[in-house]
Structures are given as C-alpha cells and as structure tokens.
Amino acid sequence: MLVILKRDAEAVSLQAAELVASHIRRKPALVLGLATGSTMIDIYQQLVRLHREGTLDFSQVVTFNLDEYLGLAPAHPQSFHHFMHEHFFAHINIHPRSIHIPDGTIHENYDQYCASYEQAIRDAGGIDIQLLGIGRNGHIGFNEPTSSIASRTRLKVLSKETLADNSKSFSPGEKHPQCAITMGIGSILGARKVLLIATGAAKAAAVAKSIEGPITSAVSASALQLHPDVTFIVDEPAASQLTQRDYYVRVMEMTALLTPDRLS
Ligand code: F6R
C-alpha cells in the first residue's frame, strides 16, 4: 500500500490525473474503472485539460463506472450517467460503446443484470486501474458498512449517512433514490491497480481507519489492505488522523528513487 500525501486538493487531483494519464499513454486500450462524486470532478477536469492539450488520447480507452442510483434514468440531472457525461465523457474522444455505467432503470432480474455487468468487465480483460473516492463512512462505490468483502456487482440499500450526504444534490421535496447498483468490494479488489483519492477533513477518520485500522466490513475501504497494488492519494486535511505520516513520507521518497513508475 502506497500513501501519497499532498498539500491540498489541487495537488491531489493533479497527481491522480497524471498517474492515470501515464498509464493510458503506456497502454492506450486501458480499462479504467471510474467513480463519481465531488472529489472526482477536479481529476476529470485535469484529464480533460491533458486531452485538450493534445497529450492524452482516449480513443481506445474502455471505462466501467462503479455505480448508479436505482430508479434514475440516464438523463436525470442527479444520475451518475449525467455526471459522467457532464464532467468527463462529453469533453474527451472516448467511443460511446466503450463507456459502461450500471443501468439505474432496470426493475427486474437484478441478479442477472449485475452478473452481465461483471461479465462485461471480464470480457474487456478486467479493470487495469480503478479510481475510487471514499465516503465518510468508509464506503467505496456504494459498498456501505457491513458489505461483504467478497461482494460483486449487486443491488445495495444506501445507508442513512450516504442518503444525508447525497441529499444536497437533490431539490427539496424531490424523492431520493434509496438504492443503487454498485460494483462489489470483490469486484474492486479484482482490478490490477486501485487508486483511492480523498480530500478534506470530513474524510480523515475514514482514511485513517482504512489505512491503519483492522480489515473490517464496518469500513469497506479497509478491505483495500488485501490488494497488492493500492495507492491512496490524500491531502493534508484528509491525512490528519494518520499516525504513521513520517513513514509514508519516507516510503514516498524511497519509491521516487527506487521504483518511480509507481508514482507516475
Ligand atoms: C460514487 C462513489 C462514492 C464516492 C464517495 C465520495 O461513484 O463511488 O463512493 O466516491 O461517496 O463522494 P465525494 O467525492 O462526493 O465525497
């Protein structure tokens, strides 16, 4: 596990985008796992900038999003389909058929649909890099606390904390989705490389529990300790409850000297 500490959210986004970009340059047909949420917006902006500058080509990239609210059509302004097009896909040269986002409009045969999403990931050769944000309750994707570490794509009931965090996005009086379709923790652990991004003090407790706490279904992101190639990129406020910060800094310095590819 590599923990990259950055001064602020801007530096975090830049490093995350540069890391993803260098992997796409090395493997143009990269299979990229994507997340939504406010943390991701700046990263997508940086990737769009690199594309506009002519240094990043998405024409062969294939993407799989982690999750989508159940009951929201792609055109709904709060759907993750809408988010992804607004912040990312509309501004890059990705082929529409290479974009995969769980379908929030299904209303039967959920297990069959979720199994077909997993199959599509396998058919694409598996996810090369999975981008993740983290919820205040430690969720990754919509794997709420007590999600099985072996879980695969499935229907998930959202926790009260997540509903409260997400309610800001919905208009007052609007019915909020109570459920989502999300890739599971097992699906995420199947990616070749995992990149978790966290910024802001509200994430500090979840970050510390995930990196330094026990592996527990009470904190879904703690399962990432089982992954052989996971990098956390966090800003100062999000890192504020980590107890081993000096060690992470020394590891970063040695990594830059010995295995710089892991940082770029
Ligand atoms: C959404 C997702 C979620 C978010 C998390 C953090 O696709 O995967 O796990 O990454 O809720 O959201 P923000 O960045 O809005 O704090």
Q: pLDDT averaged over the chain? A: 96
pLDDT tens digit sequence for 21-39: 999 999 999 999 999 999 9
Cα of 37 vs centre of ligand 1, distance in Å, is 4
Cα of 41 vs centre of ligand 1, distance in Å, is 11
Ligand 1 atom nearest to CA at 133: 10
pTM here? 0.97
Mutation to probe ligand 1, out of 12, 13, 40 (largest number of atoms < 8 A from CB): 40
Residues annotated as catalytic (active site), given as ranges: 67, 137, 139, 144
Which pLDDT band, with edges at 50, 70 and 90, does 174 fall under? Answer: confident
Does the pLDDT at position 166 exceed 90? no
- Using the 8-state DSSP alphabet, how is residue 215 labeled? -
Does the pLDDT at position 263 exceed 90? no
d(CA 252, CA 3): 8
pLDDT score, position 188: 98
Which pLDDT band, with edges at 50, 70 and 90, does 255 fall under? Answer: very high
Ligand 1 atom nearest to CA at 39: 14
Helix (H) or strand (E) holding 176: none
Ligand 1, atom 1: closest residue by C-alpha = 36
pLDDT tens digit sequence for 106-137: 999 999 999 999 999 999 999 999 999 999 99
Q: What are 32's strand-pairing partners?
A: 63, 129
Pair of tokens at residue 114: 């979720």
| Overall average pLDDT of the 238-261 stretch | 96
pLDDT tens digit sequence for 70-104: 999 999 999 999 999 999 999 999 999 999 999 99
pLDDT tens digit sequence for 216-227: 999 999 999 999
**In the chain, % of residues over pLDDT 70:** 100
Mutation to probe ligand 1, out of 101, 134, 160 (largest number of atoms < 8 A from CB): 134
DSSP one-letter string for 9-42: HHHHHHHHHHHHHHHHHH-TT-EEEE--SHHHHH
| Overall average pLDDT of the 239-244 stretch | 98
User: What are the pocket residues of ligand 1 if the criterion is a CB atom closer than 6 Å to any ligand atom?
Assistant: 35-39, 66-67, 80, 133-135, 139-141
d(CA 202, CA 182): 23
Would you tell me how many other CB atoms lie within 10 Å of the CB of residue 110? 15
Would you tell me how many other CB atoms lie within 10 Å of the CB of residue 91? 17
